[in-house]
Amino acid sequence: MTGSYPATRLRRPRSAAWSRALHRETVLTPSDLIWPLFVTEGQGVEEPIATLPGVSRWSLDGIAARAKEAVALGIPCLALFPNTPANLRSDDGAEALNPDNLMCRAIKAIRDACGSDIGVLTDVALDPYTSHGQDGLIDGAGYVLNDDTVAVLVDQAVNQAEAGADIIAPSDMMDGRIRAIRMALELGGHHNVQIMSYAAKYASAFYGPFRDAVGSRGLLKGDKKTYQMDPANGEEALREVALDLAEGADSVMVKPGLPYLDIARRVRERFEVPVFAYQVSGEYAMIEAAVAAGAGERDALVLETLMAFKRAGCAGVLTYHAPLAARLLNA
């Protein structure tokens, strides 16, 4: 740093709103947002999620309406997560491969409503489809089998691509699944379908409300620590990212978000690729709880936290506050 006080007064550029805008290093716009949506069966259905105040599960007509809303707000992409009916969940998660499953029908509903005006990101993992709540196939001891699971994930990814998904987002954390999915997409002619890998997904305490939303919390037997990352590890995240990029990922994700901004920054600086962060359900719920307790103002908290992701180097953020943030940014 050069200069000294009073020749240099760092408050000088902060003295007026126009000057603050002129000197602002980081810019947040609606095009930086991805809106996660939960899909459920039925017609005209909106099911509020108690642990995610302000967030609901929507039937297909509601999902189509949310897609039109996103287009109007300038949100470029939706992320879909299904609440699969209990009678369709099984130990092997076979419903994930059904071309007429809830996820595939939601993709088509968005396409019918908005055409190619919005991107559709789809979750590839088996936890919304398994009766045991794990992200993959399990053996008799409850251990999640890596290679057997990858074989199913490949078919799941192709199923979603054929339904019209733009971005395949494997969230399972199995070793080798990016290469296998990329090869299958290429062989199937889906050359322009992107892969956004959940490359650094941690075994976090912040996922509880999400599991309520997709109906897996009460089903989950054990935990996910044998495949999701240890929150104590940072170097391991860089190894995970390097492998996924080498195997064909177009972009990578860090999950959760705010507690792992150091990881997002390190990934961006090391690899210089698009890095996304997921401001997960527990983070959203904490903001809403703070607002309900009178400890903070929602609009300011939302925009400040989202700006933190951009400042850390993220290309974009998956956030349940996306529509609120877009309205604030468009004002």
Distance between CA 311 and CA 315 in Å, rounded? Answer: 10
Give the CA distances from residue 45 to residues 42, 294, 331, in Å, rounded to whole numbers and listed in that order.
6, 31, 30
Tokens found for residue 4: 């000294």
Task: Sort 304 into a burial class: Cβ within 10 Å, 0-12 / 13-18 / 19+.
Answer: exposed
Write down the catalytic residue from 68, 201, 221, 310.
Answer: 201
Burial group, residue 296, by CB count within 10 angstroms (0-12, 13-18, 19+): middle
Q: Which of 108, 221, 225, 255 is catalytic?
A: 255
The residue behind tokens 């009178």 is 294
Single-letter code of the amino acid located at 17: A
Residue 255: active-site member: yes
Q: Is residue 298 within 8 Å of 10, Cβ to Cβ?
A: no
Q: For residues 201 and 278, what is the distance between their CA atoms, to the nearest angstrom?
A: 10
Which residues are the active-site residues? 201, 255
